[in-house]
């Protein structure tokens, strides 16, 4: 008999009751549900690359990439496809099964789309799952990315509807939900979660998870981020969240979204091995791997692998690329890079500082 049913009608009081369980009871329930749907000793690994950094027009109070805050971050132009491919190959060699590409935009513009879709096609040809986070997407943009083969699109809700206005004023909560709807309708998988430790109440953490769990279809991937406080942002001096509350958030996410991958995301640099271990037991089964998440620190790859070895965990093996597209020989890899280089050469005069617009 199954320990859970997939529901989309969670009441906030029900979720708050889960948060209030004694920790041992909560962890036992979450781990039992996790074990029913997933291999408890396998963790999906993703690598995240910033393909366009800084000068974002949004005012998210946690974000060092906002043009409204002086965080010392240097803005960068949209990366050329050849450079993205080099990073993607490195990620695959280091054990990543999914390659995520993020741009500091409110939304991509129509002239961005040919380069973005080509990035997707070329990264997929290396045998990696693909994910992008580019801000809001229209129906047409979602369809174009899906047509290029993009597997996942990330667009976080960040927090509860009630607390959202204290975090962001330049984009509505409904616009985030609309983007998720466009992504799902296009056939792509949804990656959506939030950030805890931003000064929100416990009820807001419950509210965030309620919004995610009550979507028509649960997100395929749910990143749970611990706020990384960056000097120059409005949240740089906010009080730290009790780490056990973070574990509770992971556990409750696992219980109410039993078949989603729950990603232990930003903030791991400041987490002890013991805290991360509790999160894995509570149901986290995905991480970002590598030394940086967009602009903030992340544990080094060797540290992750050392922890995995101590815990008896192993990386999930990603799907292989179709034989017709997989670059198995040096000649094929060189042809792929030559193709990307040709596109970059053609587009040289069209690359621009997207954040300045």
CA 96 to chain centre: 14
Measured CA to CA, the distance from residue 7 to residue 214 in angstroms comes to 7
Closest CA to 282 of 64, 69, 49, 19: 19
Measured CA to CA, the distance from residue 159 to residue 343 in angstroms comes to 39
* Residue 57 DSSP symbol: S
Measured CA to CA, the distance from residue 345 to residue 300 in angstroms comes to 34
Measured CA to CA, the distance from residue 98 to residue 153 in angstroms comes to 12
Measured CA to CA, the distance from residue 178 to residue 95 in angstroms comes to 34
Measured CA to CA, the distance from residue 14 to residue 330 in angstroms comes to 56
Q: Break the chain down into helix, strand, coil percent, rounded to 5.
A: 45, 15, 40
Q: How many residues does the chain have?
A: 357
Which tokens sit at 143? 């369809």
Measured CA to CA, the distance from residue 32 to residue 4 in angstroms comes to 10
The β-bridge partners of 101 are 49, 132
The alpha helices in the chain, defined as continuous H runs, are 12-19, 23-37, 81-93, 113-124, 139-148, 161-164, 173-186, 202-213, 243-256, 273-282, 301-311, 330-347
Q: Cα-atom radius of gyration of the chain, to the nearest Å?
A: 20
Which tokens sit at 158? 């960040």
- Residues with a known catalytic role: 56, 60, 63, 100, 131, 191, 263
């Amino acid at each position: 008999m199954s320990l859970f049913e997939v529901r989309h009608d969670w009441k906030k009081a029900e979720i708050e009751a889960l948060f209030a369980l004694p920790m041992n009871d909560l962890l036992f329930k979450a781990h039992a549900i996790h074990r029913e749907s997933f291999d408890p000793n396998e963790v999906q690994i993703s690598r995240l690359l910033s393909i366009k950094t800084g000068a974002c027009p949004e005012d998210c109070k946690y974000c060092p990439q906002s043009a409204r805050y002086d965080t010392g971050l240097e803005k960068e132009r949209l990366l050329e496809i050849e450079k993205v491919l080099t990073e993607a190959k490195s990620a695959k060699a280091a054990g990543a099964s999914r390659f995520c590409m993020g741009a500091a935009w409110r939304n991509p513009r129509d002239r961005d789309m040919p380069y973005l879709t080509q990035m997707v096609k070329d990264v997929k040809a290396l045998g990696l799952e693909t994910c992008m986070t580019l801000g809001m997407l229209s129906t047409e943009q979602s369809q174009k990315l899906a047509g290029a083969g993009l597997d996942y699109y990330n667009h976080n809700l960040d927090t509860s509807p009630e607390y959202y206005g204290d975090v962001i004023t330049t984009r509505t909560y409904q616009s985030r939900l609309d983007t998720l709807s466009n992504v799902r309708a296009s056939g792509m998988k949804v990656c959506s979660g939030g950030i805890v430790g931003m000064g929100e109440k416990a009820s807001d953490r419950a509210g965030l998870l309620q919004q995610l769990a009550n979507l028509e279809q649960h997100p395929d991937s749910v990143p749970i981020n611990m706020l990384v406080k960056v000097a120059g942002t409005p949240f740089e001096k906010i009080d730290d969240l009790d780490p056990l509350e973070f574990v509770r958030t992971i556990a409750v996410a696992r219980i109410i979204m039993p078949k989603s991958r729950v990603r232990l995301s930003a903030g791991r640099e400041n987490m002890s091995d013991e805290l991360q271990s509790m999160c894995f037991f509570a149901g986290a089964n995905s991480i970002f791997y590598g030394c940086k998440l967009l602009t903030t620190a992340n544990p080094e790859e060797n540290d992750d692998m050392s922890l995995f070895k101590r815990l008896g965990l192993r990386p999930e093996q990603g799907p292989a690329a179709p034989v017709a597209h997989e670059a198995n020989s040096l000649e094929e890899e060189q042809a792929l890079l030559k193709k990307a280089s040709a596109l970059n050469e053609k587009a040289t005069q069209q690359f621009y500082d997207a954040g300045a617009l």
